[in-house]
């Protein structure tokens, strides 16, 4: 089984968002939309071919409906289908994720003329954002961005957690300073203005070591916090590591796990799920990076 967390540069037009979700079909486990970021994160999972096919259908809709030349949003982006990471779950391996990554990039270039930058073993996603079309040319596809769809960062990685902490004081300089002070190998951070508020936007690269509770507390130690926001899903093992009394504060809950959404999908298909996976969670899920 593969998970794919597709980041699309659209978070405002309801008709486009509906079309993207419909294209993903039963593989879509979660949809997180932010109009200020002008970005939507769709979490998909399924057997390798099913997940890959769903991602391609979503990408085709995005290329047809989104023009990055008209895009305005606070989140950095290089394309309409901005980031496509493949993540091994269950019995899948990182080799399976790498194969899915490369197959998608090849298809995207051949079918839609969109160039892709690989990330994973070769380089990190921040490397792609810094160097794309400067020091770094696309790995697959034309050497220039697609006129309307831009380019795509296509990755293979273990699971990570995307997490935002909103500051009580709407001071962008403060948010950026806090983000800089917290940045480390297992914690990627940005300070962003989101409407009238500011947030420290984070990727928890090693959440078994530094999870949502630790990330929240690091920000709260630097400045008062208004609220937290989980983007997408987490593995059950990470939820179990957080005291239940903190779940509401941290924007966590039973239904925010990969396992719960997969179980719901099985029920929707008329398949009776196990109450918990035999090993307490899909292999590889317990160490999201």
| Close Cβ partners of 285 (under 8 Å, ≥ 6 residues apart) | 89, 159, 235, 236, 237, 258, 259
Q: Which domain holds residue 193?
A: 161-268
Element (H, E) at 39: strand 39-46
Same domain, 168 and 262: yes
Residue 51 and residue 194 in one domain: no
Residue 60 three-state SS: helix
- Count of domains for the chain: 2
Q: Is residue 241 part of a domain?
A: yes
Q: What is the pLDDT of residue 90?
A: 86
Query: Would residue 193 count as lying in a domain?
Result: yes
Are 84 and 154 contacting, i.e. CB atoms less than 8 angstroms apart? yes
Contact 240, 221 (CB under 8 A): no
287 belongs to a structural domain: no
Residue with tokens 């220039």, as numbered in its chain: 144
- Same domain for 109 and 193, yes or no, is no
Digit-coded pLDDT (tens) for 214-241: 999 999 999 999 999 999 999 999 999 9
Q: Same domain, yes or no, for 146 and 184?
A: no
- The answer on 112 and 65 residing in a single domain is yes
Same domain membership, residue 147 and residue 13: yes
User: Are residues 110 and 245 located together in one domain of the fold?
Assistant: no
pLDDT at res. 119: 97
Does 181 map to a domain?
yes
Query: Domain for residue 284, yes or no?
Result: no
CA dist 194 and 66 (Å) reads 21
Q: Cα(65)–Cα(59) distance, rounded to whole angstroms?
A: 10
Which CATH number does the domain housing residue 121 bear? 3.30.990.10
150: left (phi over 0), alpha (psi -120 to 50) or beta: left
Q: Is the dihedral of CA 52, 58, 64, 67 positive or negative?
A: negative
Residue 103: pLDDT band (50, 70, 90) is very high
Whether 252 and 126 map to the same domain: the answer is no
Query: Do 147 and 189 belong together in one domain?
Result: no
Query: Do 35 and 108 have their domain in common?
Result: yes
User: Residue 268: which pLDDT band, with cuts at 50, 70 and 90?
Assistant: low
**pLDDT interval class at 159 (50, 70, 90):** confident
Q: Are strands 39-46 and 28-34 parallel, antiparallel or unpaired?
A: antiparallel
| Poorest-pLDDT segment among 54-58, 151-155, 250-254, 268-272 | 268-272
> What's the pTM value of the predicted model, to 2 decimals?
0.86
Q: Is residue 275 part of a domain?
A: no
Do residues 64 and 133 both lie within one domain?
Answer: yes
State whether 39 and 112 are in the same domain.
Answer: yes
What is the CATH number for 241?
3.30.70.670
How far apart are alpha carbons 254 and 261 in whole angstroms? 10
Residue 199 lies in a domain: yes
Walk across the sheet containing 225-231 and list its strands: 187-194, 197-204, 161-167, 225-231
Q: Are the C-beta atoms of 265 and 29 separated by less than 8 Å?
A: yes
């Amino acid at each position: 089984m593969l998970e794919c967390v597709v980041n699309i540069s659209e978070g405002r037009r309801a008709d486009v968002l509906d079309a993207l979700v419909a294209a993903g079909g039963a593989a879509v486990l979660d949809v997180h939309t932010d109009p200020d970021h002008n970005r939507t994160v769709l979490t998909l999972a399924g057997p390798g071919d099913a997940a890959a096919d769903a991602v391609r259908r979503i990408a085709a809709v995005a290329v047809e409906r989104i023009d990055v030349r008209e895009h305005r949003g606070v989140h950095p982006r290089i394309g309409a289908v901005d980031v496509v990471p493949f993540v091994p779950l269950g019995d899948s391996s990182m080799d399976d994720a790498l194969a899915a990554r490369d197959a998608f990039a090849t298809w995207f270039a051949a079918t839609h003329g969109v160039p892709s930058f690989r990330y994973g073993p070769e380089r990190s996603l921040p490397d792609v954002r810094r160097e794309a079309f400067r020091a770094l040319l696309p790995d697959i596809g034309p050497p220039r961005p697609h006129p309307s769809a831009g380019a795509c960062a296509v990755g293979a990685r273990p699971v990570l957690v995307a997490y935002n902490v909103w500051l009580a004081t709407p001071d962008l300089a403060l948010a950026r300073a806090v983000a800089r002070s917290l940045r480390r190998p297992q914690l990627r951070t940005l300070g962003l203005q989101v409407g009238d508020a500011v947030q420290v936007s984070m990727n928890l690269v090693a959440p078994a070591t530094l999870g949502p509770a630790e990330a929240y507390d690091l920000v709260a130690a630097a400045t008062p916090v208004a609220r937290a926001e989980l983007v997408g899903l987490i593995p059950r093992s990470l939820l179990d590591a957080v005291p239940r009394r903190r779940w509401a504060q941290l924007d966590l809950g039973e239904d925010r796990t990969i396992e719960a959404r997969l179980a719901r999908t099985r029920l929707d298909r008329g398949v009776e799920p196990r109450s918990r996976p035999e090993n307490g969670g899909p292999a590889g899920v317990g160490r999201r990076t």
